Amino acid sequence: MPWIEWYNSLAKPAWTPAPATIGLIWQILYPIILVSFGFVFVQAFRGKVPWTVASLFAVNLVANLIFTPIQFGMRNLPLAAVDIVIIWATILWMIIAVWQHYRWVAVVQIPYFVWVSLATVLQLSITWMNWQGPSGSPH
């Protein structure tokens, strides 16, 4: 079954955004992520940002990139839920860690954090609503 049919077949909260809306939001966020993360990595290579700060951005980037294959390729809702919590936590940690070095980088992460906060609640809700318990039936 194609991924969109699988996704549409899942139980979801009534407030779930349409896939097109989700795609549009990511089209806005990805350029912000590209510029700000790229800046942090360049500054780390130049020695102006500690690698401990840049590593948070790297962990977030990897977790973000593997979400789609986990969710829609593997169709593993529990693992996708764990992954999005990692994404959410690293954004918060990134904002705190980079604030003392480049405040503008911290500030531009706020829309990303707000969206991922909503997406985290959505993912946890979908995971819960579709979780197959020991009885084999969804909760």
Q: What is the pLDDT of residue 137?
A: 57
- Which residue, among 84, 86, 82, has the nearest Cα to 56 in the 3D structure? 86
Tell me, yes or no, whether 126 lies in a domain: yes
Tell me, yes or no, whether 16 lies in a domain: no
Tell me, yes or no, whether 25 lies in a domain: no
Q: What is the pLDDT of residue 28?
A: 97
What is the value of pTM for the model shown? 0.91
Q: What is the pLDDT of residue 19?
A: 86
Tell me, yes or no, whether 22 lies in a domain: no
Per residue in 54-110, pLDDT (tens digit) is 999 999 999 999 999 999 999 999 999 999 999 999 999 999 999 999 999 999 999
Tell me, yes or no, whether 122 lies in a domain: yes
Range of the domain at 111: 51-131
Tell me, yes or no, whether 26 lies in a domain: no
Gap between the Cα atoms of 13 and 53, Å rounded: 36
Average pLDDT over residues 9-34: 95
